[in-house]
Amino acid sequence: MGATVEDDFELYDLRVEVVAPEGARLWCNAKVGDYFELRGEMLYLPPGQGVSIYSLSAALPLLAAKQRETDANDWMSTDAEVACPDPNCPTRFKITRTGKRRFSHSAVTAVPLPGEPS
């Protein structure tokens, strides 16, 4: 079955950038300004750049929520930085919404919407 307007939804694209206090020693091998982008379900890193899986583990649970529209009063709408899980590392990931992308339910899952034939 083809996509219809009724099964469309939008997600924010995200840019997740390493920030830290000036002159701070970063223990996770990141560099201030390193980043990755999340577009839909795909994570993109610039060529030659990596990201610590330990630091990434702190941000991952929040990314799906940051991709979705939230109420202006929800903390998810205002809080943008996630701390590195190492208590000795001052690194943070700053999450910025960079644009919106439209998806079709029927293009991203085999599970039909309620009322649609399976």
Q: Give backbone dihedrals phi and psi of 60, rounded to 5 degrees, phi first.
A: -50, -45
pLDDT of amino acid 112: 84
Instruction: Check whether 2 has a pLDDT greater than 60.
Output: no
Return the closest-CA partner of residue 3 out of 95, 109, 90: 109
More confident residue, 109 or 60: 60
pLDDT of amino acid 109: 79
pLDDT of amino acid 4: 52
Strands (E), the chain: 8-19, 35-39, 42-44, 81-83, 92-104
**Average pLDDT of span 17-44:** 94
pLDDT of amino acid 5: 54
pLDDT in tens, 52-106: 998 899 999 999 999 999 999 999 999 999 999 999 999 999 999 999 999 888 8
Secondary structure of residue 96 in the 3-state scheme: strand
Question: Average per-residue pLDDT in the chain?
Answer: 90
| Alpha helices (H) in the chain, listed in sequence order | 53-66, 75-78, 105-108
pTM of the model: 0.86
pLDDT of amino acid 32: 95
